Each structure stands twice: as C-alpha cells, then as structure tokens.
Amino acid sequence: MKVAYIQTSPIFGEKEQNFNQIDDLSTDLKADLIVLPELFATGYTFKSRDEANKLAESSNGKTYQFLKSLSFKTSAIIVGGFIELLKGKIYNSSLLVFKDLIKATYQKIHLFNQEKLWFSPGKEKYRVYDINNTKIGIMICFDWIFPEATRSLALQGAEIIAHPSNLVLPYCQNAMKIRCLENRVFAVTTNRIGKESRGDNRFLFTGGSQITSYNGEVLAKAPKDEIHVEVVSIDVSNAQNKKLNDYNDLFKDRNPQLYTYE
Ligand code: ACM
C-alpha cells in the first residue's frame, strides 16, 4: 500500500488558504493513506480560548468537507487535525475520512503546554479502524511521549499509526523509531513548518515529517524548513508479525502481571 505525508506551512486563521495549499500539493497525488499535520487549517498558537473557539467546527464542518473532497480526489484515506466543537467543549482532534463512506474522530488525550488552556483533553480510548483491509490507529503529536498511546493502538492490532503533528521539540522523530520498533508497527508522522509568534509563545515548528517502518527504519524524512510531499510503498503485513527472532515475540513475551500501571 502507498502511504504519504503532506508537510505544509499553515497561515494562522486562514482556513481557505490552508486548504488551497494542500489542494495544490496534492494535484497528482494518489495513495491509500495520506496524513496531514495537526490543526493544519487553523494554525496552532492561540492567544485565548475564545480565539480557538471561533476557529472550531463540528465534525461535519468545512474541514470535513475539504477532507472528503481530498479523499475523492486522491482515492486515499485522509487523516488530519482540526479544532472540534463537541457538546460545548473544544478538542484538539483529528478526522479520519474515506470518501463519503467513513468518518471518525480522535480527540487528543495528552495535551501539550498551553493547549491545556484552550482544549479539553480527550476522554475516549484509543481506537483502531479497519478500512480497506488495513488497520489504522490515530494519535496526535505529543501523544508520542506516552508509550502507552502507541502500545494501546498496537495491542488492538493497528498496523499503521497516523500521527498528525505540530512538533516544536527535537525528540519525536527519533522516538518514533523506537515506538515503531517496540510495537512492530508503521507510522506516518506529519509535521508542519514555519513560525508562529502569538501571545506569550514563539514557536518554530521543526518539519522533518517521517514515515517509519515496523523495524525502526526511516523510510522517508522531509526537510526541516520546506513544504514537502512524499509517498512510500509499504508491505503492511510486516506489522502483523511481532517476532523479532525465533525466540522473541514482542507481544507474546510481554508480562503485564509484573508491570505497574498506577
Ligand atoms: C504538540 O503536541 N503539538 C507538541
């Protein structure tokens, strides 16, 4: 199957321009799965909850409509981030869309830094979606630092983790090699580039979007400061085999009764 990232440079608050940027970058793109950055249509650095609220949408809003059209155009399952308005609260969420057949949302569980001032943390468990014979899990950006996130998805059978991101720390891309290796899953970490200086924050987003293989190998890596699109063919069945060698199966060798969780 073909998996892709579209690393963009969002303009804060300008949804239409941010949709157009992705439309232009995907003109000839055909893939089975395309991952976009976290909050790709709105930007990331809010000055107030009110500002984030004004950019929020229901899961049927403009961003969903755009992702649906992108899915029809590219024939791909699309995963990308948006501010979700749900029952009066706002979440840093991702939508998974496949044409007009499938729509799912994930509300980010582990909020980073001042995200805690604007967003409610997700309360729904990590879930895996079985679409076109591929098992896809979703996590968002800072979820990477909690090994339980990738593990929860992998234990449910995820073969690929779609990982929309707005990374500002330098660790995630290296960490994803280990997350993928220890769970024997693929991951598409899609980051953004550019700077946002708003309110108290000066963020430089670190680019380097990455497609990581089940054995920890990096299959594709974007530049740190350029818009970039990459498509990679993977054999997703490799993620079903958890054997590291003849004696070690990374899932069967786990010993949860000896682990402390709380
Ligand atoms: C992040 O979670 N956007 C760093």
Query: pLDDT digit string (tens) for 23-55?
Result: 999 999 999 999 999 999 999 999 999 999 999
Tell me which amino acid residue 258 is.
L
Residue 230 has pLDDT above 90, yes or no: yes
Question: Per-residue pLDDT tens for 109-120?
Answer: 999 999 999 999
CA of 253 to the centre of ligand 1 (A): 32
- pLDDT for the residue numbered 76: 98
Question: Per-residue pLDDT tens for 167-178?
Answer: 999 999 999 999
- Alpha carbon dihedral 182, 2, 28, 60, in 10-degree steps, equals -70
For residue 74, the 8-state DSSP code is H
CA of 183 to the centre of ligand 1 (A): 22
Q: Is 89 a catalytic residue?
A: no
| For residues 189-207, average pLDDT | 96
* 32 closest CA partner among 2, 74, 57, 9: 2
**Among 57, 84, 135, 141, the one annotated catalytic:** 141
May I ask the CATH class of domain 2-258? alpha beta
**Among 108, 115, 159, 172, the one annotated catalytic:** 108
C-alpha atoms less than 13 angstroms from C-alpha of 166 in its C-beta half-sphere: 27
**Quick one: tokens of 224?**
């740190």
**111 touches ligand 1 (CB under 6 Å):** no
- pLDDT for the residue numbered 200: 87
**38 touches ligand 1 (CB under 6 Å):** yes
- pLDDT for the residue numbered 52: 98
| For residues 197-223, average pLDDT | 97
**Quick one: tokens of 249?**
């199966």
CA of 73 to the centre of ligand 1 (A): 29
Q: pLDDT above 90 covers what percent of the chain?
A: 98
Specify the ligand 1 atom closest to the Cα of 165.
3
CA of 167 to the centre of ligand 1 (A): 5
Tell me which amino acid residue 249 is.
D
Question: Per-residue pLDDT tens for 58-100?
Answer: 999 999 999 999 999 999 999 999 999 999 999 999 999 999 9
Question: Per-residue pLDDT tens for 147-166?
Answer: 999 999 999 999 999 999 99
Residue 185 has pLDDT above 90, yes or no: yes
**168 touches ligand 1 (CB under 6 Å):** yes
Specify the ligand 1 atom closest to the Cα of 143.
2
- pLDDT for the residue numbered 130: 97
Cα–Cα distance measured from residue 172 to residue 177, given in angstroms and rounded to the nearest whole number: 9
Residue 229 has pLDDT above 90, yes or no: yes
Cα 66–chain centre separation: 17
